[in-house]
Amino acid sequence: MRFPLLTVLSGASIAVLVAACSVSPDRETPAVPAEIDQEPPHPYVGMWVTADGHIRQELLANGRYDEARGRRKSAYTGSYQVFGTRIEYVDDTGFTADGTFDADILHHGGDVFYREGSDAHRRSSGS
């Protein structure tokens, strides 16, 4: 014997079901907050500097980087992707490069960068 769906549900269940399925046409569906919809930034986001501070490369959470050299701000800018401990860069001019992270040390383009403020950075600069 088949019973209609509503006769199987209790009154409280029907109220919950109707409330969950009801959408007012003049109400907008709430947006998913951006922090829930996005992956957390990888652990290498932040400022990376050479021991002498001449090159400063900031890895931004949005997948972009901004590199300063000496007094020249934004000397190089572009995008990057991280795959495990490997980083791949694409400069805004189309130039590509890569590097490898080893904890708070980044080997990139023949240079060694240190996470700014890390123990490795303090040791490298003699601070």
| 51-105 residue pLDDT tens | 999 999 999 999 999 999 999 999 999 999 999 999 999 999 999 999 999 999 9
Burial (Cβ within 10 Å: 0-12, 13-18, ≥19) of residue 121:
buried
- Inter-residue contact 98 to 111 (CB < 8 Å): no
pLDDT at 41: 77
Question: What does pTM read for this prediction?
Answer: 0.68
The per-residue pLDDT for 39 is 67
Q: What is the pLDDT of residue 18?
A: 40
pLDDT tens digit string along 8-42? 434 444 343 344 444 444 555 455 455 555 667 78
CA distance 76 to 69: 9
What pLDDT band is residue 5 in, cutting at 50, 70 and 90?
very low
pLDDT bucket at 127, cuts 50 / 70 / 90 = low
Give the closest residue to 79 by CA, choosing from 94, 99, 69, 68: 94
pLDDT tens digits along 117-126: 999 999 997 7
Compute how many other C-beta atoms are within 10 angstroms of the C-beta atom of residue 49: 22
Q: What pLDDT is stored for residue 93 in this prediction?
A: 96
How many whole angstroms separate alpha carbon 108 and alpha carbon 100? 7
- In whole angstroms, give the CA distance from residue 103 to residue 100: 10
Q: What is the helix, strand, coil percentage profile of the chain, to 5?
A: 20, 40, 40
